[in-house]
Amino acid sequence: MIWWPTEVPTLQYGLITLRKPEERDIIPIYEGVQDPIIPKFTRIPANYQMANAEHYVRERSPNGFTMRTELQLALEYDGKFAGALSFHTLDLDDSKAEIGYWITADVRGKGVATAATRLMTEYGFETIGFHRIEALVVESNVPSLKVLKNAGYMQEGIMRDKCLQDDGTREDMILFAAIRTDWGR
């Protein structure tokens, strides 16, 4: 059974904090997604503007939470903004969600994405009550493939030509999933 929280949670593990996006995050969000890797491997557009970051913090995140269509969390590492994670593409009747994330360049390769993904997944299973959490990763995004494997997700399949890149080419996406009954084994 799904339990939707009454307020956006704050989750902590070591130096990692996942929390509600706030006004102070607008500039770091904007600056973080200027990294060309972010739009290449996420649904964030390459022409992301400051207005997009403002909309994300002020409207999309709170409205998605209220409407129960997504749960957006800001990622802090050692007290500094370091990216974002979300549960989106929710199917509350079927107890499933998709997890997504992006991490700032300065914290990549430090295990932050893996630990944050584990933390959010644990919350999704234990508190919200999801049965299944999926992730889709562009096949050429090798670091993200490692994050999911190290976070306990299992590769389930390849979705051929699923993702259209800005240059007009298509890439396969890898489908990963974590199942509540298998989690932590």
Q: What CATH code is carried by the domain that includes residue 21? A: 3.40.630.30
pLDDT digit string, tens, across residues 102-156: 999 999 999 999 999 999 999 999 999 999 999 999 999 999 999 999 999 999 9
Q: How far apart are CA 22 and CA 169, in angstroms?
A: 36
Domain count, the chain: 1
Domain-located, residue 122: yes
Residue 83 lies in a domain: yes
In tens, the pLDDT along 3-42 reads 999 999 999 999 999 999 999 999 999 999 999 999 989 9
Q: Answer whether residue 163 is part of any domain.
A: no
Q: How many other CB atoms are found less than 10 A from the CB of residue 86?
A: 20
Q: What radius of gyration, in Å, describes the C-alpha atoms of the chain?
A: 16
Residue 96 lies in a domain: yes
DSSP percent split of the chain into helix, strand, coil, nearest 5 = 35, 35, 30
144 part of a folded domain: no
* Segments forming the whole domain that contains residue 49: 11-134
